[in-house]
Amino acid sequence: MQLHHVTRSHPQRKARRIGRGGKRGTYSGRGIKGLGARAGGKFRPEERDILKKIPKLRGYKFKSRRQKPAVVNIADLMRRFPDGALVSPETLLRMGLMRRTKGRVGRVKILGNGTLKKKFVFRDVSFSRSVKEAAAVPATAGVGR
């Protein structure tokens, strides 16, 4: 079993807000005495605390930890780089075609928006299927690593 196989067994219900006045009666949904009736910290089992720390199925703020690659189009490379230039994450950063993510030079993906007419030397970049199918990468560009 993997984390993406985990699903809810029951649909999520909106929690009932308690401690409000109005038509809730004398105790405002808190019952009579005990920990639930008092203000302040809540007592709950340790298992629930562990479950709440797992990000899966925990609301709209959950984002994947994997960083998405910076996207650069062939048209941008044609405009900014001379013929025979080295295209790597570092050179793309220097030319202003990508930014650092969390202080690091991240991954780069070359997309096929435009036509490749110059020869480039590519290093440490990945390519979209359209760029590979156009035979632009292996034929006209010296692909490094």
Report pLDDT digits (tens) over 41-91: 666 677 777 777 776 666 666 666 778 899 999 999 999 999 999 999 999
Residue 52, SS3 per DSSP:
helix
Q: How many angstroms separate the CA atoms of 119 and 6, rounded?
A: 48
- Report yes or no: 6 and 56 within 8 Å, Cβ to Cβ: yes
CATH code for the domain in which residue 97 is found: 3.100.10.10
For the chain, the domain total comes to 1
Instruction: Over range 112-127, report the average pLDDT.
Output: 88
Q: Is residue 93's pLDDT more than 70?
A: yes
Instruction: Over range 92-102, report the average pLDDT.
Output: 89
Quote the pLDDT of residue 43. 63
Say if 25 falls within a structural domain: no
Q: Which residue has the higher pLDDT, 136 or 17?
A: 17
Quote the pLDDT of residue 145. 47
Q: Is residue 141's pLDDT more than 80?
A: no
Q: How many angstroms separate the CA atoms of 87 and 121, rounded?
A: 6
Say if 56 falls within a structural domain: no
Say if 74 falls within a structural domain: yes
Count of positions (residues) in the chain: 145
Tell me: the pLDDT tens digits for 3-52?
Answer: 888 888 888 888 877 777 777 778 888 888 887 787 766 666 777 777 77
- Report yes or no: 75 and 113 within 8 Å, Cβ to Cβ: yes
b/e map 63-94, b = 16+ CB within 10 Å: eeeeeebbebbbebbeeebeeeeebbbebbbe
- Per-residue confidence at 139, pLDDT binned at 50, 70, 90? very low
Its domain, for residue 128, covers 70-143
Say if 127 falls within a structural domain: yes
Q: How many angstroms separate the CA atoms of 122 and 110, rounded?
A: 10
Q: Which tokens belong to 60?
A: 């709209």
Say if 107 falls within a structural domain: yes
